[in-house]
Chains A and B, each alone.
Chain A
């Protein structure tokens, strides 16, 4: 079962553009060999970092969004650890967070409906029946 992941890493600024391409291709190859999908590759380029890593003040940032199976996750981490030119890396799963976020949208829809009703019928939005809403809902209504 494929899941959505995000891979990000910082490459040593002394390395040439060919080296950067090699590292990106090596990871894209791993994903494609295991029937994964590469959605997009983001190259941010050279950026100043907030603090020096391995005595370098700059770094080459790359972010990859992809879908692949769980066991590929460990292969990618292993590859990133072994390549010496990668200074820092992060691999995140995005799937479960998006599921949780869908709960929020339901909540917001409910709030919109309520606020519309209040706008049409009564001029005093302060007189909401308290039983219908959670604490978080109330705060959102207050802003509107």
Chain B
């Protein structure tokens, strides 16, 4: 749980205030939509969790919960096998 409790004034520390006012809380978008399990066939959803090079984004960036991240990584790998998504391409230049 991050930043859930109201801030306590323990001296005026600017760092603390900045964190509280300017950070937007991340959340798992699959939990929000109440998706039970992720299908590899709707690849358009999976594209949001993949970089342009084809790498899977980590959960700490996207904010997905561990339950859904496990399913997501499997679904992406299956989608790659069926040629819905690209495999990882090395950067050029």
Do A and B associate with each other? yes
Asked if B55 is an interface residue, CB under 8 A from chain A, the answer is no
Q: A139 near B31 (CB under 8 angstroms)? A: yes
Residues 16 to 57 of chain B near chain A (Cβ within 8 Å): 25, 27-28, 31-32, 34, 36-37, 41
CB contacts (< 8 Å) of B6 on chain A: these are 126
Other-chain residue from B37, B82, B85 in contact with A90 (beta carbon distance below 8 A): B82
Asked if A104 is an interface residue, CB under 8 A from chain B, the answer is yes
CB contacts (< 8 Å) of A92 on chain B: these are 78
Q: How many of chain B's residues have a CB under 8 angstroms from any CB in A?
A: 25
By beta carbon, the residue of chain B nearest A102 is: B36
Q: What is the CB-to-nearest-CB distance from A7 to chain B, in angstroms, rounded to a whole number?
A: 12
Q: What is the CB-to-nearest-CB distance from A82 to chain B, in angstroms, rounded to a whole number?
A: 19
Q: What is the CB-to-nearest-CB distance from A108 to chain B, in angstroms, rounded to a whole number?
A: 6
CB contacts (< 8 Å) of A102 on chain B: these are 36
Chain A interface size band reads 20 to 34
What does DSSP make chain B's interface, helix, strand, loop or mixed? loop
CB contacts (< 8 Å) of B32 on chain A: these are 140, 143
- Give the most central of A100, A108, A143: most B CB within 10 Å: A143
Q: With A and B bound together, what is the CA distance between A102 and B36 in angstroms?
A: 8
Q: With A and B bound together, what is the CA distance between A92 and B71 in angstroms?
A: 14
What does DSSP make chain A's interface, helix, strand, loop or mixed? helix
Asked if A138 is an interface residue, CB under 8 A from chain B, the answer is yes
Residues 64 to 83 of chain B near chain A (Cβ within 8 Å): 65-67, 71, 78, 81-83
Q: A104 near B36 (CB under 8 angstroms)? A: yes
Q: A101 near B37 (CB under 8 angstroms)? A: yes
CB contacts (< 8 Å) of B65 on chain A: these are 136, 139
Q: What is the CB-to-nearest-CB distance from B4 to chain A, in angstroms, rounded to a whole number?
A: 6
Other-chain residue from A88, A104, A143 in contact with B82 (beta carbon distance below 8 A): A88
B interface vs A, CB < 8 Å?
A: 1, 4-6, 25, 27-28, 31-32, 34, 36-37, 41, 65-67, 71, 78, 81-87
- What 8 A-B pairs come out closest when comparing CB atoms? A101-B36, A49-B83, A143-B27, A50-B86, A138-B1, A97-B37, A101-B37, A136-B65
